[in-house]
Amino acid sequence: MEKTNETPRGIRNGNPLNIRRTLTKWKGMRETQTDKSFAQFDSLAYGYRAAFILLKQYYRKYRLKTIQGIISRWAPPSDGNATSKYITFVCHKAGVEPTEQLPYLTDDPLLWFCIVSAMAHQENGQTAGTMNDVILGYVMAFENEVK
């Protein structure tokens, strides 16, 4: 896909879930970071990898195991997000309820592929890459954990 100024920022940045730029040096980050707010990756797969790693942290460290909990932290209303609409969209796409306890990411990869691709769609207003990008990001994030 050719990237133009009309292409959503997250897709242009190879960062489909719009991960904020921090001091973290993610694998696959572009050598030169020109976006002052969001990290930029060499490919969408590396952006998805970073997202899966953050979601693993949300699940384990912060005990966020529902779409409501995850999205409320990922895209809080205090940042100007329509958090409740985001939650509804992801739940509809993934076929889960907002407060339903989710299995760990390696226990149901297909569910998490749906969740993450729905989050990327919400973040960009369109599909971000292909399911192969999502799966490759997952494999890279969990290469030592996948069953």
Note the pLDDT tens digit of each residue in 17-69: 999 999 999 999 999 999 999 999 999 999 999 999 999 999 999 999 999 99
70-91 pLDDT tens trace: 999 999 999 999 999 999 999 9
Contacts 24+ apart (CB under 8 A), 6-11: 8/123, 8/124, 8/125, 8/126, 8/128, 9/35, 9/38, 9/124, 10/38, 10/47, 10/120, 10/123, 10/124, 10/128, 11/44, 11/124, 11/126, 11/128, 11/129
pTM of the model: 0.93
